[in-house]
Amino acid sequence: MRYQLIGLNHKSAPLEVRERLAIPESRLPDTCRELNAYPGIEEGMVISTCNRVEIIAHTVNGHADLRGFLHNHFHLKPEELDAHLYEFREKDAVRHIFRVASSLDSMVVGEAQILGQVKEAYATARAVGAVRGQLDQLFSRAFAVAKRVRSETAVGSSSVSIASVAVELAKKIFGSLQGKNVFIVGAGKMSELAARHLMAHGCASIFVANRTYDRAIGLAQKFDGQAIKFEDLYTTCDRADIVITSTGAPHAIFRREHGEQFLARRKNRPMFFIDIAVPRDVSPDMARLDGIFAYDIDDLQQAVSSHVADRRKEAERAEAIIASEVERFEARQHTLDVVPTIVSLQDHLETIRQAEIDRVRGRMGQLSPEQEIALEALTRGIINKVMHTPITTLKTAAKESEATTVVDVVRRLFNLQVKPKEEPAGPAVKKDEVGTRQ
């Protein structure tokens, strides 16, 4: 359990800092390699999403300088970065990874994306050979825990990201989205995402208007839609039932008079404006019109977080699951170390040997020193010969993934018990086992 984790997320660092640390997908393999070449690190991987950048490593002695790695890699001064960083070790690092994978540490608790992102990061690191035994065990367990949290609690029960909240709201207004038209005003990543969600739920066609006409054409092509010149915005907009607007305009581009026009031409059929622009594109007095439903970014966030409030209870249950899973993982890790098992096995056999010699001595009476030596050599020899193969097998098994099984079998066969000490898991070689017979 020499896990170490360092990183920052949406809670610990503002967007500007996160932006500077974000690692593009294409650079991820190189970063992984670099991390693994860093002193003190046995295995290491990087998780980089828009809400978090984290480095998780299994280190040689549990005290690798991950902070230093970050400073070097991103060419940042400690004072710029350190205030935003959190660091976890051993059990806490395990808990953190479990929480991240189960989406309990997400901005929107329960959202499903993060698990996919962690899986991708894991696959990338694995592909460059940065993940082997230790991180492999940690992450396989983390994925299993995430699955358990998802199936046993309602944390991820309904859709939540802003895009899916927008779809949900659209459905509250229009019922089925079958045959509805979408208008994107101002091509941007977020509006594209929202449009994609809407199309996936059955919206019929899409219009795109952008100040730069070429970009409008580009985006329209992606959706098999129609590009509209920005000047024609007001004359065509009423054809859309759902308008996603995200222009960089300094003032509202949809004002009350536009709303009235649209409604008159649409015979008052309702329109849904998803306004993700800051400053807002839809003026508040237009949003007050009957039949115009305008949700700005704050409203959407609020809708998202009201889901979160519903989920708080479920999240508590999820935390309980994670706590028990961390305990289980820790216990497994203890049994995983083969050295203590070997030592306790030897101890165990030595106890038996001594007991048997004492018994024989009692029956045979006084032995001559030569006889003593011979008896000692004989018994030791037998034990060593018998023990040779099991110990070699245990040692080889330690390097394989089957270690747990082998160690478990040996422990059960010889009825060995582990009594872990309270001290943190340091170097593997330590005598913390006692061989007993029940």
Partner 1 sequence: MSLLWLRFALGCYFVGLVYAFVALTRTSDLFSRIALHAATMGMVFHFVSLTELFLSGQIVWASVHNSESLLAFLSMAFFLVIYMIYKTTSPGVVVFPVVFFLTFVAALDEQPVLLTQFVSHKGWLIAHIMLIFTGYAALLVSFGASLLYLLQERRLKAKKPTSLIAFLPALEVIDQIGYRSLLLGFPFMTLGLITGSVVAITAPTIGRVDFLDPKILLSVLMWAVYMVMVFTRWNSGWRGRRAAFLATFAFVAALAAWAANYFSAMHRFGTS
User: Which residues make up the interface to partner 1 (CB under 8 A)?
Assistant: 169, 171-176, 264, 266-270, 290-291, 293, 295, 299, 302-303, 306
Smallest separation (angstroms) from partner 1 to the CB of 167: 12
Q: Which is nearer to partner 1, 92 or 260 (CB)?
A: 260
Smallest separation (angstroms) from partner 1 to the CB of 283: 15
Smallest separation (angstroms) from partner 1 to the CB of 264: 8
| Phi, psi torsion values for 206, nearest 5 degrees | -135, 140
Smallest separation (angstroms) from partner 1 to the CB of 296: 9
The token duo for 296 is 């700005």
- Residue 202 is given by DSSP the state T
368 CB-contact burial (10 Å; exposed 0-12 / middle 13-18 / buried 19+): exposed
DSSP secondary structure, 387-407, as one string: HHHHHHHHHHHTTSTTHHHHH
Listed residue (142, 132, 119, 144) closest to 58, CA to CA? 132
The rounded distance, in Å, linking the Cα atoms of 398 and 380 is 26
Ramachandran region, residue 202 (left: φ > 0; alpha: ψ -120 to 50; beta: rest): left
Catalytic annotation present for 50: yes
Q: Which is nearer to partner 1, 61 or 268 (CB)?
A: 268
Q: Which is nearer to partner 1, 52 or 258 (CB)?
A: 258
| Helix/strand/coil for 277 | coil
CA 138, 103, 164 angle in degrees (round to 5)? 145
Q: Which is nearer to partner 1, 266 or 317 (CB)?
A: 266
The token duo for 114 is 């993060």
Smallest separation (angstroms) from partner 1 to the CB of 270: 6
Q: Which is nearer to partner 1, 266 or 411 (CB)?
A: 266
| Catalytic site residue from 32, 50, 203, 237 | 50
| Helix/strand/coil for 242 | strand
Q: Which residues are within 8 A (CB) of 406 and not within 5 positions of it... i.e. 6 or more apart?
A: 393, 394, 397
**Rg for the chain (alpha carbons), in Å?**
31
Q: Which is nearer to partner 1, 24 or 175 (CB)?
A: 175
Beta-strand relationship, 41-48 and 52-59? antiparallel
First to last CA, the chain: 29
Q: Catalytic positions, please?
A: 50
